[in-house]
Amino acid sequence: MPYQEFLVGFVYDVEQVIAGEYGEKQILVMHPAYIGLQPQALEKFRIGKTYELQLRPLDGSIWSAIKSKDDSGRIELEPYIRVQDEARYPKSGR
């Protein structure tokens, strides 16, 4: 049986920090791959494209206890989640 919710990690190159502080050249962002057993479209995130992301640390987020997979090998990078994805967390029974 698959997980109800599942996160996958993408590593992005940081070009500019618009607000807040971040000192690394790359950032690990966790994206929901499944919400309520439904696969989520991740193909909109493409290599070579530029994105403006509103992020918060995954630690302390409602998503922090969800099963996740990160094959980047970048264990030194703290995981973040998009603010928009945090709002998509299912409300049912949790």
DSSP states of 36-74: TTEE---TTS-TT------EEESTTSTTTTS-EE--S--
Which residues constitute the domain of residue 13? 6-86
* pLDDT, position 93: 44
Question: What confidence category does residue 92 fall into, taking pLDDT thresholds of 50, 70 and 90?
Answer: low
Q: Which two tokens stand for residue 48?
A: 């070579």
CA distance 94 to 91: 6
Q: What is the pTM of this model?
A: 0.87
Asked whether residue 1 is assigned to any structural domain, the reply reads no
R_g of the chain, CA atoms, integer Å: 13
Question: What confidence category does residue 2 fall into, taking pLDDT thresholds of 50, 70 and 90?
Answer: low
Asked whether residue 63 is assigned to any structural domain, the reply reads yes
Asked whether residue 92 is assigned to any structural domain, the reply reads no
How many domains are contained in the chain?
A: 1
Asked whether residue 78 is assigned to any structural domain, the reply reads yes
